[in-house]
Amino acid sequence: MIPPIFPAAGFLLFVQGIGMGRKEVSLLSHGKLGFGKLVSVEPAGAVIWSQTVHGYVFEFQDDNGKTHHATAETHRRHLLEDQEHEALLYDPEAPHHAVLVEALPGAPRIDQDGSVRMRSPVRGLACLIIPAATLLGHGYWFMHTMAMILNV
């Protein structure tokens, strides 16, 4: 029998991911488009697929001309180092809430009219494979555990 700590840890990670995702979805639907200039890059101390994760800090100005910073971490350096100014979305009421577009899962792009598009629908769906497998696995564990309890 699987100890209950694993599903509990999975649930906490799920809740954390939902919280982070809500912020990004909110910025995608209500955020203002801006462009940030890279001001610093430092190793973040993690490694993914034998590639060092780097922390990026971008500087941008809001509509009032005030300077703010947006941060991102990724092991895919080419995404955030390929242009002089990177597209970002920020909350006009709280500009410190910002996200770099190319650092989002699936690496969406922004069209000429300002609408956000996925580069490939397959990429977007691929981002759901691990969460779906996790939910199915935990659902199976829960149903199996409940069946054992009710049969006892």
Q: Is the pLDDT of residue 1 over 60?
A: no
133 CB neighbour count, 10 Å cutoff: 10
DSSP conformational letter for 67: E
Q: Is the pLDDT of residue 15 over 80?
A: yes
DSSP conformational letter for 102: G
Q: What was the pLDDT predicted at 91?
A: 94
Q: What was the pLDDT predicted at 90?
A: 95
* Averaged pLDDT of the chain: 86
**35, 13, 50: which is closest to 102 by C-alpha?**
35
Q: Is the pLDDT of residue 35 over 90?
A: yes
Condensed to tens digits (0 to 9), the pLDDT of residues 99-129 reads 998 888 777 777 777 777 777 778 777 778 8
Q: Is the pLDDT of residue 46 over 80?
A: yes
Q: What was the pLDDT predicted at 152?
A: 61
Q: What was the pLDDT predicted at 2?
A: 58
Q: What was the pLDDT predicted at 12?
A: 86
Domain residue ranges in the chain: 30-119, 120-152
Kindly report whether the global pTM for this prediction surpasses the value 0.75. Answer: no
Higher pLDDT, 1 or 56: 56
- Residues with Cβ within 8 Å of 54's Cβ and at least 6 positions away in sequence, in order, are 41, 42, 43, 44, 73, 74, 75, 77
**104, 120, 122, 125: which is closest to 21 by C-alpha?**
104
Contact 97, 105 (CB under 8 A): no
CATH number of the domain located at residue range(s) 30-119 in this protein:
2.40.50
User: Cα–Cα distance between 112 and 98 in angstroms, integer?
Assistant: 20
The mean per-residue pLDDT over the stretch 49-68 comes to 94
